[in-house]
Amino acid sequence: MAYQLQVNGTAFSIEASGDTALVDVLRDDLGLRGTKIGCGQGECGACSVMMGERVVCSCLTPVSRATLFPITTIEGICGQAVAHADADAAPASSRLHPIQQAFIDHGALQCGFCTPGMIVAAYALLNRGGRVTEDDVVEGLTGNLCRCTGYRKIIEAVLDAGERMQRHE
C-alpha cells in the first residue's frame, strides 16, 4: 500500500504494509539512519522523532499513522541550524542546531547511540518555549535511556541550549 509522508520538509511516497514501523521506513526506505533502534518497544527513546510538535517513538508508530503529521528526524533538526545559528558561539559554517552544539561543547555524549533521540527529545522540550529548569529537563528526557554518560552533562547541555535559544528568540 502507498503512503505519503512528509519528512524533514520533503514529501515522499512509500510502498509498505500498514503495520511497518516508521523507524524502518525512515532508515531502510529513506536512508535516514540517524534515528537508531535500541529496543524496538518504545522503552529506550533511541528512535525518537518529531511528529508535528510532539516527540514520539518511531519504532511504535505505524506508517499508516505517520502520514498525519510532518515528521522531523535528527537530520532535519540539523538542517534547521541556519535559522538558529548562534553567531556568538560558533562560526556560521558549522550548521549545527544549538542543542547539537551544546551537546558537543559539554561533552554530553560518549558512544553517541542515544544522542539523536536525546537531542530530538530536548528539541521537543525547548521548542515549547519559555525558561526550562532542571526538573523540566528530567521530565522531558525521561523516555530517553543513556548507559554511558550518567546524564549529568546531558542536563547541563540541554539547559545551556535552552539559554542559547532564548537569546535568539
Residue choice 33, 70, 90, 166 for contact with other proteins (CB under 8 A): 33
Q: How far is the CB of 126 from other proteins (least distance, A)?
A: 13
DSSP summary character for residue 87: T
Residue choice 70, 89, 151, 163 for contact with other proteins (CB under 8 A): 151
Using the Cα atoms of residue 17, residue 35, residue 57 and residue 13 in order, give the sign of their dihedral.
negative
Residue choice 71, 114, 132, 159 for contact with other proteins (CB under 8 A): 114
Helix (H) / strand (E) element for 57: namely strand 54-57
Residues 40-99 that bind other proteins (CB under 8 A): 40-46, 48, 51, 54-57, 60-62, 64-65, 68, 73-75, 78, 96
Residues 120-139 that bind other proteins (CB under 8 A): 121, 124-125, 137-139
Q: How many residues bind other proteins (CB under 8 A)?
A: 74
Residue choice 71, 103, 159, 165 for contact with other proteins (CB under 8 A): 103
Phi-psi sector, 61: left (phi>0), alpha (psi -120 to 50), beta: beta
Alpha helices in the chain (DSSP H): 22-24, 63-66, 74-79, 81-84, 98-105, 115-127, 134-140, 152-167
Q: How far is the CB of 45 from other proteins (least distance, A)?
A: 6
Residue choice 25, 32, 85, 161 for contact with other proteins (CB under 8 A): 32
- How far is residue 97's CA from residue 108's CA, in Å, rounded to a whole number? 15
Q: How far is the CB of 56 from other proteins (least distance, A)?
A: 5
Cα–Cα nearest to 45, from 104, 96, 115, 103: 115
